[in-house]
Structure 1
């Protein structure tokens, strides 16, 4: 596997960086230790500019090549998850209820490794903008960075990112042209009836039958309102109602996650969700309050940039280890906002067998860091060849 020799030599350093980050997880936009650590490493590396405090705790660092040219953005997310870690590793989280269960510590280490190589060699014509982003898991830090104008401020013309993929073969890259990951919307429904004694239901308006009817009927959106060749998920993930075995509750609530790929399907689901819930409420004599939040948009790769990124990945991992028509999945990513602002591509990098993402036993495979860092470095050198 032709990892860049200099980056292979940086593997112990990337491992040290990654495991420090793993021990000190922070959530959402509040990443003071993480951001300070990354900024300190960037100063040691010798990048040309460091801009801190973007989207609260995000960082944009610039590395200038040997000649002038376009600006390429490379993104890594830095935030952790509110999970209690059970890995048992000696660098496990030192903060109860927080852990790097999605590998953002590895993403950050990979980008730092690429940054060190690029700052040493500068074998490109243009500028690299290193985008260290907060709040991917919750809060939409990618959207905030875009809204704060990073693309315009730093004249970024295209943007790329990687996500580790446990249980994808080690060193393999998967991506696709067009939609790669879904849009995610979330709905909360509060149902209010009239509570009372379980022995006298005729004196009550029971919210439970209404809620169960709503949950069942919402599944008809996929089975009866969607063209069979389109893709959609409507999953009710929580139902909370009742307090005792002899009390009909006054109120209850449920929530759902909705995953789709096109604006048309997204709009159809929102419309049918309201119609079904409100119609069922009227039939059962209860009142409802719906909060329907639009979340991350679909992650859509630019076709040309995805093909180019796959070519670069083949140089690093070999032609048999890269699949550029891997299809799409129902997960969501706020890198989508960056791809809405600029053409680019997002890829998955296989890290081999292990616990899945967001699992309390998950741990990033440090052996994958030189592969990801080499991909970033080769991408810059190929896209911005030095004259």
Structure 2
């Protein structure tokens, strides 16, 4: 069996979720030992790894990112290398993305770039939107701060090996937002003696469409969870919470949406004499493609004679790579995983092994074109 496919199957069998990727990082480290990278950075932003390959001459530093983490979902498919960890599975293809970067490491080991540096980054905690922030905030990241950053994601529903691109925004930014309204519990027969958050929460839900309309550009506010009081029929609730997912195609629009929801929530809390506590979870920045980075990638697609689909609208889902695109010139693209491939995060999904060679080829061509001055 091809060593990269064997590695991918091994990673698939031993999934680790966000923040727990210790053994996964160790497997990657073992794979890279014989490849003799010029520098290795461990424990980057947690369990992250970076492998640096230096060219013969000075030049641009290119970073290529893959993800270490799996999902807290039980695998229902039946490959021979099915997950051995109950309730966890590589059902987004991060095992395949890692294999692609490992294959790129093999290429760089055999032939360094003519100029510049290449960084292969294995990022933790992509699924929770925490990993990129931790990596970028880690003091060790200064050693690998890139001139350009690249990443791909496999995309079921598109023909196998087709490249899916987009100028500008590739994928939406999003954040989870929980608004907790704190009042006072009372007897259900005397609700006037308490402060029930039901009115504030319901009014906020009803106000969301108007808030969305007030923002120029695509945005979405999705109610994902509501909880008020408890199932005690003699009690008027004194506490409640509303959880939303907010998303937009433009970072400024996303920030404006957050601000407007927060403003309305505080107004309603004040009117109902409630305290309010606001928390954010799983925040993802907008993934925006830089024109200069796009040119490098597009040259690679063309020279490899790949079928390219220019998507009319951004994807509504979010990717943690978006934070890299907010901090340096970056480029994220999709690679078709097959029109009949189960969707990402579905229990029967499995990364197509055929994509490994395609992904390695694209990334390698980007490096060679840049280092040879073909940009």
**So what's the TM-score if we normalise by structure 1?**
0.87
After superposition, the Cα gap between the structure-2 partners of 1:380 and 1:149, relative to the gap in structure 1 and judged at 3 Å, is: farther
CA distance in 2, matches of 1:155, 1:220: 41
- CA drift of 1:200 comes to 5.2
Partner-residue secondary structure (3-state), 1:156: coil
RMSD over equivalenced CA pairs, Å: 2.5
CA distance in 1, matches of 2:327, 2:265: 35
Q: Residue 278 of structure 2: which of 283, 290, 295 is its match?
A: 290
Aligned position for 1:301: 289
Deviations 1:170-197 (A, max 9, x none): 1111122222222222221112344345
Do the aligned residues in 1 keep the contact of 2:129 with 2:320 (CA within 8 Å)?
A: no
Aligned position for 1:384: 371
After superposition, the Cα gap between the structure-2 partners of 1:256 and 1:42, relative to the gap in structure 1 and judged at 3 Å, is: same
Q: Residue 349 of structure 2: which of 348, 353, 362 is its match?
A: 362
Q: Residue 215 of structure 2: which of 214, 221, 226 is its match?
A: 226
Q: Residue 266 of structure 1: which of 229, 240, 254 is its match?
A: 254
Partner-residue secondary structure (3-state), 1:295: strand
CA distance in 2, matches of 1:194, 1:148: 43
Q: Which moved more, 1:84-93 or 1:289-298?
A: 289-298
Aligned position for 1:5: none
After superposition, the Cα gap between the structure-2 partners of 1:282 and 1:338, relative to the gap in structure 1 and judged at 3 Å, is: closer
CA distance in 2, matches of 1:118, 1:326: 35
CA distance in 1, matches of 2:169, 2:277: 33
Aligned position for 2:264: 276
Aligned position for 1:341: 327
Aligned position for 2:42: 52
Q: Residue 101 of structure 2: which of 106, 111, 118 is its match?
A: 111
After superposition, the Cα gap between the structure-2 partners of 1:218 and 1:77, relative to the gap in structure 1 and judged at 3 Å, is: same
Aligned position for 1:192: 182
Alignment of 1:90 onto 2:76: no
After superposition, the Cα gap between the structure-2 partners of 1:266 and 1:336, relative to the gap in structure 1 and judged at 3 Å, is: same
- CA drift of 1:105 comes to 0.7
Aligned position for 1:331: 317
Alignment of 1:241 onto 2:231: no
CA distance in 1, matches of 2:200, 2:324: 41
- CA drift of 1:292 comes to 4.6
Q: Which moved more, 1:331-340 or 1:158-167?
A: 331-340
After superposition, the Cα gap between the structure-2 partners of 1:42 and 1:232, relative to the gap in structure 1 and judged at 3 Å, is: same
CA distance in 2, matches of 1:251, 1:123: 60
After superposition, the Cα gap between the structure-2 partners of 1:50 and 1:374, relative to the gap in structure 1 and judged at 3 Å, is: same
CA distance in 2, matches of 1:209, 1:28: 37
Deviations 1:300-339 (A, max 9, x none): 1111211321221233352xx2134543123222222322
Do the aligned residues in 2 keep the contact of 1:218 with 1:276 (CA within 8 Å)?
A: no
Do the aligned residues in 1 keep the contact of 2:46 with 2:134 (CA within 8 Å)?
A: no
Task: In structure 2, list runs of 5 or more residues that go unmatched.
Answer: none
Aligned position for 1:216: 206
**So what's the TM-score if we normalise by structure 2?**
0.90
After superposition, the Cα gap between the structure-2 partners of 1:118 and 1:324, relative to the gap in structure 1 and judged at 3 Å, is: farther
- CA drift of 1:284 comes to 4.1
Deviations 1:108-151 (A, max 9, x none): 00111121123223364333211111111125222222222455
- CA drift of 1:344 comes to 2.5
Q: Residue 152 of structure 2: which of 152, 162, 167 is its match?
A: 162
Alignment of 1:61 onto 2:48: no
Alignment of 1:14 onto 2:35: no
Count of residue pairs brought into register by the alignment: 372
- CA drift of 1:251 comes to 1.7
Do the aligned residues in 1 keep the contact of 2:128 with 2:282 (CA within 8 Å)?
A: no
Do the aligned residues in 2 keep the contact of 1:210 with 1:280 (CA within 8 Å)?
A: yes
Partner-residue secondary structure (3-state), 1:38: helix
- CA drift of 1:235 comes to 1.0
